[in-house]
Amino acid sequence: MGRYARYPPQTASETDRLDSHEVRRETALFAARGQIVTEHASGQEIGPQEILSRLPHRYPFLLIDRAEHYVAGQSVVGIKNVTANEPFFPGHFPGNPVMPGVLIVEAVAQTGALLMSATLDADPTKTAIYFMGIDGVRFRRPVLPGDTLRMPVEVTFNRRGIFKFHGKAFVGDDLVVEFDFAAKGGPTV
């Protein structure tokens, strides 16, 4: 089994590096064992318009540009291109811009919410996805202007509308953060 499929990681080195060949191999394994939703079968990508239709977040708080490798009920990889124009960089930190860790966590959580919304085919005007909890957050490196965050999220539990996930964020092959989190669908308020 590969790094995504074997949870938790078996060695410390597994959490530190992930080469692109293995990412492609793991993605193919997910696609082979999961059912790809028809509208995502070609390329398994979720574009910006569908993200906007599935999540209530909007600029400046929508932290996913697109998603790849969507497998209903199992996994997705969110992509965020971090630009120098992000609204948080001028104040965090002047002269040394670093993406706030809580926003990296939020981006991964939004990727999980997208997976959950697409899996349930939820109408965001009637169903909200609420972040319930987070465990084991470990930051490994900063995210800087010009970086591209790649955020693989995998469902580890799904019962009675409660989803648990294992999420990570990478810049290139470098692990930025990983953690477990939970979310639940409910009526909008």
Residues marked active site are found at 92
Residue 78 CA to residue 57 CA, distance in Å, equals: 15
Write out the DSSP string of 97-156.
----HHHHHHHHHHHHHHHHHHHHT--TTTEEEEEEEEEEEEE-S---TT-EEEEEEEEE
Q: Which residues contact 158 (CB under 8 A, 6 or more apart)?
A: 73, 164
Kindly tell me the sign of the dihedral angle through the C-alpha atoms of 10, 15, 21, 26.
Answer: positive
- Write out 97-110 in H/E/C secondary structure: CCCCHHHHHHHHHH
